[in-house]
Amino acid sequence: MAYVNTLRMFLRVYELGSMSAAARDQRTSPAVASARIAELEKRLGVRLFNRTTRALNPTEHGRLFYDGACHILEAIEQAEAAVMNVSQSPRGTLFVAAPLGVGRRFIAPAVPAFKAAYPEIDIRLRLSDRSIDVTGEGLDLAFHLGPLADSDLKIRVIADCPRLLCAAPAYVARRGMPVDGTALIRDGHDCLNLRFPGAREFQWTLQTPQGPKRFEITGPFESDDGDVLTGWALDGAGIVMKPLFEVADHLRAGTLIPVATATPPLATQLVSLSPSRRFRDPKVQLFTEFMATRCKEALNSLHHGYDI
C-alpha cells in the first residue's frame, strides 16, 4: 500500500500544483509529500516536476506518468469496489461538499442516519456557496445547485427546484411592489447579490412573455453566503432570488412575500457530481442514493402547497 499511497500523493501534487496543498489534501505534512515524490523520482530515474520558488510544473515525464498513474489507481479502486460490493461492507472516508442552504437543511442533518446505517464509512463534509473544483479539491462527491459548465464529471439530477424573487412586506411598503423584471431596473430596486470570485449573480435570468431574459441588477449589499442574503431580505434591506425550499417557511409566516411575479426566475436543479474514477465506488453510490432520497422527501414537504 505504500506505493499506492505514493501514487495518490503524486496525483494530488500534479492536480493541485503545490506540494503543501497536496499534503493538506492527503492529511500529512509537506515534508512527507516531498519525500514521497523524491522517492518516486528515484524509483523511476526521472524528474517528474520542475520546481521553482513560485511554481511546481510537471515535466514531460511527469505528464506521461500521470496518465498511467490515473489508470492504475482507477483499476485498484474498481477492484476494491467489486470486493466491497460482494462483501456488502463498504468502508473508508468520503469527502463531500454542498452549498450552504442544501448542506445545512438536507445533507448535514441526514449524515448521522447514514453513519448509523453504514458505520464503517466516515464523512468529511464541507459547506460553501462558492464554486467548487470537485477534482482539484480531492472530493469524492459534491452537491450542486444551478447551471453547470461543460464537465467530465458524472452528474445525477436529484430534483428540480423552483425559484422566486421575494422581499419583506416592510420593503414593499417602503419601495413599492415591482410587477416584473423591467420594474426592478426602472425603479432602481435594491437587489441582494450572491457574489464570490467568479460568480455571475449580478445578472438575474427571468422568464418573460418573450422567453428568458437577463436583467442587470444592482444593490447595496452582497455576500458569498446565501443565508446572509435571506437575513437581509427579512430585515427589509432588499429583494432576493431564492430557491423555494430556502424561503418556504418565511412565505408561510408572511415575513417574506413574492415580488415581480409576472417574470419569475427560471427553476434550477439540484444535482450530485462525482469524478469519473470515483463514480463506481460503493461508498459514493450509497451516499448519493441515500441523500437523493432524503433531499426529495424534504423538498416535497417544503414545496407542498406552492405552485410557482
pLDDT single digits (tens) 16-31 = 888 888 888 788 888 8
* Residue 206's CATH number: 3.40.190.290
Quote the CA–CA distance of 146 and 228 in Å, as a whole number: 19
pLDDT digits (tens, 9 = 90+) for 69-95: 887 877 776 666 666 554 456 878 899
How does residue 224 score in pLDDT terms, banded at 50, 70 and 90? confident
Residue 198 has pLDDT above 60, yes or no: no
Same domain as 154, residue 112: yes
Question: Tell me, what's the pLDDT at 152?
Answer: 74
Cα-to-chain-centroid distance, residue 237 = 27
Confirm whether 308 is domain-assigned. Answer: no
244: left (phi over 0), alpha (psi -120 to 50) or beta: alpha
Report if pTM > 0.75: no
Cell of 128: 460553501
Same domain as 93, residue 81: no
Same domain as 212, residue 64: no
Confirm whether 227 is domain-assigned. Answer: yes
* 18 vs 55: which has the higher pLDDT: 18
Domain that holds residue 130: 89-160+269-303
Same domain as 258, residue 172: yes
Same domain as 77, residue 202: no
Q: What is the mean pLDDT of the chain?
A: 86
How does residue 108 score in pLDDT terms, banded at 50, 70 and 90? very high
Same domain as 107, residue 136: yes
Highest-scoring range by mean pLDDT, 37-46, 144-153, 239-248, 276-285: 239-248
Same domain as 153, residue 63: no
- Split into its structural domains, the chain has a count of 3
- Going by C-alpha positions, the residue among 31, 83, 90 that lies closest to residue 282 is 90
- Span of 54-58, 105-109, 174-178, 242-246 with lowest mean pLDDT: 54-58
- Tell me how far apart the terminal alpha carbons of the chain are, to the nearest angstrom: 54
What's the whole-number mean pLDDT along residues 220-237? 92
User: Which residues is 92 bridged to in the sheet?
Assistant: 121
Quote the CA–CA distance of 205 and 139 in Å, as a whole number: 30
What's the whole-number mean pLDDT along residues 192-197? 77
Same domain as 241, residue 174: yes
Question: Tell me, what's the pLDDT at 195?
Answer: 76
Among 60, 85, 110, the domain boundary falls at 85
Same domain as 147, residue 196: no
Among 64, 85, 106, the domain boundary falls at 85
Question: Tell me, what's the pLDDT at 86?
Answer: 45
* Residue 128's CATH number: 3.40.190.10
Same domain as 237, residue 105: no
Helix (H, G, I), strand (E, B) or coil at 53: coil
Confirm whether 283 is domain-assigned. Answer: yes
Quote the CA–CA distance of 33 and 6 in Å, as a whole number: 8
168 CB contacts (<8 Å, ≥6 apart)?
233, 234, 235, 236, 255, 256, 257
- Going by C-alpha positions, the residue among 13, 99, 11, 60 that lies closest to residue 275 is 11
Among 62, 85, 108, the domain boundary falls at 85
